[in-house]
Structure 1
Amino acid sequence: MKERLFLHDRAEWYSGLGNLRRDVLAGMVGTFALIPEVIAFSFVAGVDPEVGLFATFVISVVIAFAGGRPAMISGAAGSVALVAAALVASHGLQYLLAATVLAGLIQIVFGLLRLDVLMRFVSKSVRTGFVNALAVLIFSAQLPHMLGVAWQTWALIAAGLAIIYLVPRLTTAIPSPLICILALTALTMAVPMPVATVADLGRLPDSLPAFLIPEVPFSLETLAIVAPYALAMAMVGLLESMMTASVVDDLTETNSSKARECAGLGLANLAAGFTGGIAGCGMIGQTVGNLRFGGWGRVSTLTAGVFLLVLMVLLRPWVSQVPVAALVAIMIMVSVETFSWASLRDLARHPKVSSVVMLATVAVTVLTHNLAAGVAVGVMLSGVFFAFKVMRLMDVRDEYDAATGTRTYRVSGQVFFASAEILADAFDLRDEAPNIRIDLTAAHLWDVTAVAALEAAVGKLRRRGKRVEVVGLNAASALLVDRHGPAIQAGMGAGMGAGAG
């Protein structure tokens, strides 16, 4: 197994080296797209830009080797930044670093236990709600930078949006967000105006990241503070990374190891936390851009991270002059592009329960500012609605044979915790028929609750002096009855002679 994994990795790197020029160029272009968004996500989280930039550098380098999906771009993302913002505001940066380390450990365990299969329970409605809520939160995070400011800030935001949306009509050789930053920075340097700049947001990196241990008390109290945020950051990061990996799988028509991606992301976040960075995850927009520019191998991911730090160190004086209005314009664009506008049209076309799940996911996420909480509520509602739908498919019909004095109940469908009560209520305890036959040929017993309901009904009928026969159990249902329904099993061997179909 290890040898096969090694050969697979070598093939991915070899493929990348064979496409070296395209991978390197795609990674470099991706870096230019990363810079504005990473800085913007940093001030969403309430930390210095260097925290997000260090994290993106470290995460990209580690994930290039440890990740399960080549060509994915990972770094400090808006979804994790939104979760982290509340912790930074209440306890400061050091607690965020501790939460990042713990989130990485959670993700490593998640991957090693192959719990990535749990992501299959996240329905399309929940994923759509997650994306829409993320868009709403990203936009709302810009409001503090748009209120109580000089009119020049609003003018720069409008100009930035115009550049972002109009330039691609002329050329796509250079990402329009980068042109937005260049143009607005040049304008504010040429014409001084009362607007905030990146330098006002905090310190930019001027050296390589160094190993550090978060300066927090090692106590249960600290764990109680960081654990909820760490769990939320871990789950949100895993969800977005799994969604990104699935997008790449579809675009490249290849498969990837989701379990390895989970563990690899955990290692990357662990490294980020110990080098002064915030937790991150897969970035859908940058990853799709990387693929479109020809980056299909791990080399493109590695290049994006390394080139990012090179640019930050070399161009630090210039980057500090970037107006915050340019970042706000970019984040508004990200918010608009992230939101699934088709979901508004689908509200009228999709089943009502799907729309309720999507809207509930958005509402809980926006109200709590916790993406993980929104996803949890969405998954729970999906499960409840699914159980309700399956429950309604169960049916019990009865017929009476006067010649033998036998009432036959024919059960069809799935019998489990949600439908067990319906089964129990289907039997008429006042029926005068001396013989009762329960035919489960078209039914399946799923859990202990179903067996208990059947056992209780059989017991009540017998106590009224009736001879009860249970027939038609399939192999799985019969095994469940053997283990958890001794009273049913005893009755099956008596009286009219029950059989298992």
Structure 2
Amino acid sequence: MFFRPQLLDSFTGYNRALLTKDVLAGVTVGVVALPLAMAFAIASGLKPEAGIFTAIIAGGLISLLGGSRVQIGGPAGAFIVIVYGIVERYGVPNLLLATAMSGVFLFLMGLFRLGTLVRFIPIAVIIGFTNGIAFLIGLSQIKDFFGLQIEKMPAHFFQSIHALLQAANTFNPAALGLACGSLGLLILWRLFNSRLGWLAHLPGTVVTMVLATIITSIFNLPIDTIGTRFGGIPSSLPSFEWIPISWGNAEYMVAPALTLALLGAIESLLCARIADGLIHDRHESNQELMAQGIANFTIPFFGGMPATGTIARTVTNIESGATTPISGIVHALTLLIIVLFAAPLAKNIPLACLAAILMYVAWNMGEWKKFIELKQFRLPYRITILSVFFLTVILDLTIAVEVGLLLAFITFIYRISSLSRCETALASDYPRLANQQGRIDAYRIHGAIFFGAVKLLEKIEANLPTHTLLLDLKNVIYIDTSGMDTIMELAHLCKLRNIKLIICGLAHQPLEMVERSDFFSVLPPDSFYPDLSSGVEAATA
């Protein structure tokens, strides 16, 4: 069945004990998701409720329809830079359009079974753009972390640096102190978590947010809060509204939508693979992509932002005892209850605290050790990871991924072509070839004959014997169309010079390629032998 949510297969052996675990895990993740959802939305240039509504609606749909048992969906830090850039350049209505279009792309990716292709993106590219996004998230939070007076942060790197430097003398000591205290508490909570006893079950982000809100309210600190900047958050879900759609806008949104879809696919499937390793299960990648597509197509009609699988919340879900998608649905319901009954309390949450939380998330999101370990890897790997990182930071994620994939492709072609080799068959192995060099030559080819390694045959063309040429392809694992064309050109050249060409050892994919190209009709029937020994015997008979 092409569409089968994991939820339908999760009830075999399900009992009250497992339901209790799922409910408790869902409540825990729901509480953890609250500050993150608001922080991600604010950092993306949106109102805090956009993040909460996305966690509720999109997160619920992803758990209900997804292909993973324990993955939690919602707004993610990886989207911050992309969403902020779209909002600044095209506006919120076009962000909603791009999000809906990305949902269509994601669904089609799953429908056409392209989920496994995401795994072919090299790890160097993934690390490069993940670290680049983490760096940009940290950079985007400097404004609220220091309480700087900047009306609107630019989306581009150099303009952001210029704006921060220009406003450096406007920093707010109260905001900086609260942000540093919040960040310090988050770090200490993680370091000493095992010594906190029953308190260890409380999420550090939630504890930090509550304490920062209480301190801000008691001392009436002169800093920005959700209430002063956004007027608080609504205590109800938004109503369904059609998003403005026009062909003119849609034309410009194709590239941003593809970027959102690609990033969402990578992030969600990477998260699902991590979850698989923790619960010793296997997700259905194409079902997950279709669920992500439905969620991202739906959420813009409720004023939300792009959603994907979230690693931190998924790991929290697993560590809290979750076993089925029920926990993800409970997580969405928990957020809904918080919005309905506790929304007025959110107006006093200080933005400096949310900035500290995002700084903490960005640091944990990046794989910074990989930069320290770069000297252990080959130069092409270093160039790829650093190029993707700097291009993500300075230019654009789309350009960074394109360049990264191109560099990885070139490196792969070079490595595979360097592993392919051609060697002369020795007379010591085949006595019949003794004193026949220049008249009867035999070559063994290893590896792949493809467009990056056709030079192997071109070298043979330059040194053709006078009577017979034998090619042993027993150790060739792959031939592409370029390689097949080169073999046919070699056969044509041999025919012109009245040289007999003998092919030995065809098997598996090379044999299939020869059959498909009708190469058997090009040479006489006595030109093909199962191994080099029989070919040499026939040539020297």
Give the structure-2-normalised TM-score: 0.85
Instruction: Please name the residue that 1:322 is paired with.
Output: 349
CA offset digits 1:390-422 (Å, max 9, x no partner)? 111111123565359312222222111110133
1:223 aligns with 2:222: no
1:278 to 281, 286, 305: 305
1:387 aligns with 2:387: no
CA offset digits 1:415-472 (Å, max 9, x no partner)? 111101332133334x563332222222244211001112223323433343333333
| Aligned-residue identity in percent | 24
Aligned partner letter, 2:257: A
1:452 to 472, 475, 485: 485
Cα distance, 1:344 vs structure 2: 2.6
Task: Give the Cα–Cα distance (whole angstroms) in 2 for the partners of residues 164 and 307 of structure 1.
Answer: 23
CA offset digits 1:270-301 (Å, max 9, x no partner)? 22122111111011001101111222222211
Aligned partner letter, 1:106: F
Instruction: Please name the residue that 2:400 is paired with.
Output: 374
Matches within 5 A, 1:45-64: 45-64=44-63
CA offset digits 1:195-240 (Å, max 9, x no partner)? 1111244352331222111124x22x21112111111111111111
Instruction: Please name the residue that 1:240 is paired with.
Output: 267
Task: Give the Cα–Cα distance (whole angstroms) in 1 for the partners of residues 369 and 472 of structure 2.
Answer: 47
On the 8 A contact 1:95/1:226 being kept in 2, the answer is yes
Instruction: Please name the residue that 1:97 is paired with.
Output: 96
Shift in alpha-carbon separation, 1:469–1:139, aligned structure 2, 3 A: same
Q: Count matched residues.
A: 493
Task: Give the Cα–Cα distance (whole angstroms) in 2 for the partners of residues 16 and 46 of structure 1.
Answer: 44
Aligned partner letter, 2:66: G
CA offset digits 1:241-291 (Å, max 9, x no partner)? 101111111100111211111111111112212211111101100110111
Instruction: Please name the residue that 2:450 is paired with.
Output: 416
> 195-204 or 157-166: which moved more?
195-204
Instruction: Please name the residue that 1:35 is paired with.
Output: 34
Instruction: Please name the residue that 1:214 is paired with.
Output: 243
Task: Give the Cα–Cα distance (whole angstroms) in 2 for the partners of residues 309 and 255 of structure 1.
Answer: 30
Matches within 5 A, 1:484-499: 484=517, 486=519, 489-493=521-525, 497-499=527-529
On the 8 A contact 1:416/1:447 being kept in 2, the answer is yes
Structure 1 unaligned runs (5+)? none
Instruction: Please name the residue that 2:537 is paired with.
Output: none
Instruction: Please name the residue that 2:205 is paired with.
Output: 177
Shift in alpha-carbon separation, 1:257–1:444, aligned structure 2, 3 A: closer
Instruction: Please name the residue that 2:162 is paired with.
Output: none
Shift in alpha-carbon separation, 1:288–1:479, aligned structure 2, 3 A: closer
Shift in alpha-carbon separation, 1:278–1:6, aligned structure 2, 3 A: closer
Cα distance, 1:16 vs structure 2: 7.2
Aligned partner letter, 2:331: A
Aligned partner letter, 2:507: N
1:113 aligns with 2:109: no
Instruction: Please name the residue that 2:181 is paired with.
Output: 159
Give the structure-1-normalised TM-score: 0.91
Task: Give the Cα–Cα distance (whole angstroms) in 2 for the partners of residues 367 and 118 of structure 1.
Answer: 28
Shift in alpha-carbon separation, 1:411–1:71, aligned structure 2, 3 A: closer
Instruction: Please name the residue that 2:172 is paired with.
Output: 150
Shift in alpha-carbon separation, 1:351–1:7, aligned structure 2, 3 A: closer
Name the SS of the counterpart of 1:35 in structure 2.
helix
Structure 2 unaligned runs (5+)? 149-166, 426-432, 532-541
Task: Give the Cα–Cα distance (whole angstroms) in 2 for the partners of residues 445 and 284 of structure 1.
Answer: 38
Task: Give the Cα–Cα distance (whole angstroms) in 2 for the partners of residues 103 and 6 of structure 1.
Answer: 20
Cα distance, 1:173 vs structure 2: 2.4
Task: Give the Cα–Cα distance (whole angstroms) in 2 for the partners of residues 43 and 255 of structure 1.
Answer: 34
1:365 aligns with 2:392: yes
